[in-house]
Amino acid sequence: MDNRIVTELEISSLLDAVYKAYGYDFRQYSPAHIQRRITNRMVLSGFKELSQMQSRILEDEAFAAKFLQDLSITVTEMFRDPDFYRSLRENVIPILRTYPFIKIWHAGCATGEEAYSMAILLKEEELAERTTIYATDFNQRALNEAKEGIFSNALIKEYTLNYQLSGGKKSFSDYYTSHYDNVIMDQSLKKNIVWANHNLVTDSVFAEVHLILCRNVLIYFERDLQNKVQRLFYDSLTNGGILALGSKEGLRFSEMYEFYTELDKKQRIFKKNRVWI
């Protein structure tokens, strides 16, 4: 990375322009995240001034799409944080069993690894047949990859260990087939997953669900936007519904905190317990 200096005013101007031109709103994302991604794209594309890149973004839709990909959050892995999935088995699955039909929203699913992880867990707990997983993201390219369910063989050793540490009941290899340098997730896992484009920043309630998983997304948002998205999650949950956040996220400093009970404080799993007006 070289020493390009981008001012807050320049970034604000760019994000306003992107929102007006394309409808994607990054204006309340973490400034540090946005600045890193913008500076990286400037270096990769050879721009010395942000104003030059802004003109290119507004004039070239293909380049704009590439820039929007840069700002998207796609860090994920199968059974990420195995203790979290162990907690799901112990603390959340018993609650889900009480419902005749189960709806789960995986918000910000990126390329789908964690949605497939949830599908595997549900299959092992014999809940898959009565569950629909809504896996959403605003990044259409990531969603397309998720639908394919094809992942690099180089990652499987790590994913297998995560699965085992999460309390997996079978062999992880039961859930995929190898094909050259990749693995393809079993078709049975895809059957009850609905992939859909949804933007947490600008879109409204997606569905009424029993469980929401949104892990390590809110850390990229400023406080006001975090509160907005947490209200969206609250409105999307049934009474007694479960909200699962990432290891560096929580509700303690949110305006919604008093409307939840902590099911697992360490793993950031909460149960909706009060009506908010």
Return the pLDDT at 47.
92
**How do residues 159-170 score in pLDDT, each as one tens digit?**
999 999 999 999
Q: What percent of the chain has pLDDT over 90?
A: 79
Paired residues of 212 in beta bridges: 105, 243
Residue 242: its H or E element: strand 237-245
Q: Is the pLDDT of residue 112 over 80?
A: yes
Residue 274 scores a pLDDT above 70: no
Q: Residue 1 — pLDDT band, cuts 50, 70, 90?
A: very low
Residue 79 has pLDDT above 60, yes or no: yes
Query: Taking all residues of the chain, what is their mean pLDDT, rounded to a whole number?
Result: 92
Give the three-class secondary structure for 212. strand
Confidence of residue 2 (pLDDT cuts 50, 70, 90): low
The domain limits of the chain are 8-71, 82-272
pLDDT value of position 256:
85
- What SS3 class is residue 193? strand
How would you label 172-195 residue by residue, b for 16+ Cβ within 10 Å and e otherwise?
Answer: beebbeeeeebbebbeebbebbeb
Q: Mean pLDDT across the stretch 226-236?
A: 94
Separation CA 128–CA 150 (nearest Å):
21
The per-residue pLDDT for 204 is 86
Answer whether 40's CB lies under 8 Å from 34's CB: no
Q: How confident is the model at residue 73 (pLDDT cuts 50, 70, 90)?
A: confident
Cα separation, 220 vs 189, in Å, equals 29
CATH number of 82-272: 3.40.50.150
pLDDT of 269 reads 97
Specify the range with the lowest mean pLDDT, choosing from 156-165, 209-218, 243-252, 263-272. Answer: 243-252
105 forms beta bridges with 134, 212
Cβ pair 139, 72 in contact under 8 A: yes
**Distance (Å, rounded) from C-alpha 82 to C-alpha 88?**
10
Handedness of CA 167, 170, 171, 172 (dihedral sign): negative
What confidence category does residue 3 fall into, taking pLDDT thresholds of 50, 70 and 90?
A: low
pLDDT band at residue 252 under the 50/70/90 scheme = confident
